[in-house]
Amino acid sequence: MKNEYLIGFSSFYKAAYARDLLMEKKYRTVVVKIPTELIQTCGYGLSVRTSNIQTILSMLNDMEVSFRSVYKIEKNEGQPKYRKIK
């Protein structure tokens, strides 16, 4: 079963770079603005659906792409709820 995750980065450019690298590996991702309740400064992230987030995080580490945080997105009465996992 695939879950939805948000991987946070410190800038749009880092998120876009990570998106491009993951797309080369056939992972479909979307650059999104991180909700203000999750981060105090501006930031962007990647929204990704996968059954194994650790594989994606390992790929980013192997490619030396740093990220700020990782959230699992769960729906609660249609509203997204973010649970920090890293």
Domain that includes residue 73, residue range: 3-84
How many beta carbons lie within 10 A of that of residue 9, not counting itself? 24
Segment 7-61, tens digit of pLDDT: 999 889 999 999 999 999 999 999 999 988 887 666 899 999 999 999 999 999 9
Q: The whole model's pTM is what? A: 0.89
What is the domain-level CATH number for residue 28? 3.30.70
Q: For residue 22, what are its two tokens?
A: 């993951």
**Domain count within the chain:** 1
pLDDT of residue 78: 83
Are the C-beta atoms of 27 and 47 separated by less than 8 Å?
no
